Amino acid sequence: MPYTYDSQNIFAKILRGEIPNSTVYESEHTLAFKDIAPSAPVHVLIIPKGPYVSFDHFSAEASDAEIVDFTRSVNEVCKISGVRMDAGNGFRAIANTGRDGVQDVPHFHLHILGGRSMGRMVTKTA
Ligand code: 5GP
């Protein structure tokens, strides 16, 4: 089944400027903004500007330029947020994906969480 992108999702609306956001960093292909309901002192969402549903969709179909830009943006956001390992205490990066990954917004986004210990990654119930 092909990836289908819903252009009415909330992050598409943010990208079109239809709803406001608290921008942390912006580059040619990437936008980073504060999560509206933060789960940690640092909680930033990094999204590609292109119409990608999920991390796998992005890594399969984005251009090299988009992928490089996105990856470099992670460094910029971590630097701005003070969580880079060389200057801060680190962070957790999460990409919830699809039904099993419990992804709410169907536009690929990477959560950057930090500013406190994030605890163990997942409950061991498998
Ligand atoms: P997901 O569960 O899809 O990985 O995470 C979606 C995230 O988007 C949630 O952490 C939620 O708080 C955040 N979010 C949902 N709507 C908005 C919004 O309108 N603005 C911002 N900045 N974040 C949002």
The total of structural domains in the chain comes to: 1
Q: Flag whether 103 is in a domain.
A: yes
Show the ligand 1 pocket: residues with CB < 6 angstroms: 10, 19, 21, 33-37, 45, 96, 103-105
For the range 94-102, what are the long-range contacts, defined as Cβ-Cβ under 8 Å and sequence gap of 24 or more? 95/54, 95/55, 97/54, 97/55, 97/56, 98/54
For residue 126, what pLDDT band results from cuts at 50, 70 and 90? low
Q: Flag whether 32 is in a domain.
A: yes
Report how far ligand 1's centroid is from the alpha carbon of 32 (Å).
12
Answer yes or no: 109 catalytic: yes
Q: Flag whether 123 is in a domain.
A: no
Atom of ligand 1 nearest to the CA of 43: 10
Q: Flag whether 35 is in a domain.
A: yes
CATH value at residue 18: 3.30.428.10
Which element (helix H / strand E) includes 84? none
Determine if the pTM surpasses 0.75.
Answer: yes
pLDDT digits (tens, 9 = 90+) for 35-44: 999 999 999 9
Report how far ligand 1's centroid is from the alpha carbon of 36 (Å).
6
Q: Flag whether 3 is in a domain.
A: no
